[in-house]
Chain A
Amino acid sequence: MAAGALCWALRAARQVLPSPCPVQVRSHYVDWRMLRDVKRRKLAYEYADERLRINAIRKNSILPKELQEVADKEIAALPRDSCPVRIHNRCVLTSRPRGVRRRWRLSRIVFRHFADHAQMSGVQRAMW
Chain B
Amino acid sequence: EKDASAASKDNTTKGASKRQEGTAETPKQKLLDIIGSMKVEVSYRKKLQQLKASERKKETMSRLDGLDSEGPQRATGDIQGGKPLNPDLVKAASAVASSLPLDKKQTESELLAQLRRHEETTDKQKKGETIDIRNVISEMTVKRQSPAQRGARISGRISLELDEDGQRLRPERSQSFVSIRSLKEGKRLNIFTKASTEPEHALKTVSSPTIWDLEFAKEIAAVTAQPPRNGFEEMIQWTKEGILWEFPIDNEVGMEDDAEFHEHIFLEKHLEGFPKEGPIRHFMELVICGLSKNPYLSVKQKIEHIEWFEKYFEEKKEYLQEI
Question: For residue B227, which residue of chain A has the nearest CB?
Answer: A20
User: A23–B28 Cα gap in the complex (Å)?
Assistant: 88
Nearest-Cβ distance from residue A34 to partner chain B, whole angstroms? 23
Question: B207 on the interface (CB 8 Å rule)?
Answer: yes
B24 at the interface (CB under 8 A from A): no
Select the residue from A13, A50, A57, A60 with max chain B CB neighbours within 10 A.
A13
Which A1-50 residues have C-beta < 8 A from chain B? 2-3, 5-7, 9-10, 12-14, 16-20, 49-50
User: Which residues of A43-67 have CB atoms within 8 Å of chain B's CB atoms?
Assistant: 49-50, 53, 56-57, 60, 62-64, 66-67
Specify which of A9, A18, A57, A63 is in contact with B209 (CB 8 Å cutoff). Answer: A9
Asked if A70 is an interface residue, CB under 8 A from chain B, the answer is: yes
Q: Are B207 and A13 in contact (CB under 8 A)?
A: no
- CB of A17 within 8 A of CB of B225, answer yes
Are the C-beta atoms of B319 and A62 separated by less than 8 Å? no
- Residues on B with beta carbons closer than 8 Å to the beta carbon of A66: 319, 323
Number of interface residues of B (CB under 8 A): 35
User: Per a CB cutoff under 8 Å, which of A6, A19, A53, A60 touches B305?
Assistant: A53
Tell yes or no: B201 within 8 A of A by CB: yes
Q: B255 within 8 Å of A by Cβ?
A: no
Distance of A6 Cα from B208 Cα, bound (Å)? 9
Which of B110-118, B176-184, B263-271, B279-287 contacts the other chain? B279-287
Residue contact A67 to B209, C-beta cutoff 8 Å: no
Distance in angstroms between the alpha carbons of A20 and B279 in the assembled complex: 67
Size of chain A's interface in residues, with CB distance under 8 A? 27
CB-based contact A13/B323 at 8 Å: no
**Contact status B217-A62, CB under 8 Å:** no
Contact A3/B283 with A13-B221, A53-B312 known, Cβ cut-off 8 Å: no
Query: Which of B207, B221, B287, B320 makes the CB contact (< 8 A) with A2?
Result: B207
User: Which residue of the partner chain A has the closest CB to B199?
Assistant: A3
Given A63-B280, A64-B279, A70-B319, also A3-B222 (CB < 8 A) = no
Question: Which one of B218, B283, B308 lies within 8 Å of A13 (CB-CB)?
Answer: B218
B203 on the A face (CB < 8 A) = yes
Contact A62 B214 (CB under 8 A): no
Whether the Cβ atoms of A62 and B279 lie closer than 8 Å is yes
CB distance from A66 to the nearest CB of B (A): 6
Further contacts, 14 of them, CB under 8 A, given A5-B209, A17-B222, A63-B280: A2-B206, A5-B206, A5-B208, A6-B204, A6-B209, A9-B209, A10-B217, A13-B221, A20-B227, A49-B304, A62-B279, A63-B279, A64-B323, A66-B319
Q: Which residues of B contact A (CB under 8 A)?
A: 199-209, 213-214, 217-218, 220-222, 225, 227, 279-280, 282-283, 286-287, 304-305, 308-309, 312, 316, 319-320, 323
Instruction: Supply 29 A–B pairs (Cβ within 8 Å), ascending by A.
Output: A2-B202, A3-B199, A3-B200, A3-B202, A3-B203, A6-B204, A9-B214, A9-B217, A10-B220, A12-B214, A13-B214, A13-B217, A13-B222, A18-B222, A19-B227, A49-B304, A49-B305, A49-B308, A53-B305, A53-B308, A53-B309, A56-B287, A57-B283, A60-B283, A62-B283, A64-B320, A64-B323, A67-B319, A70-B316
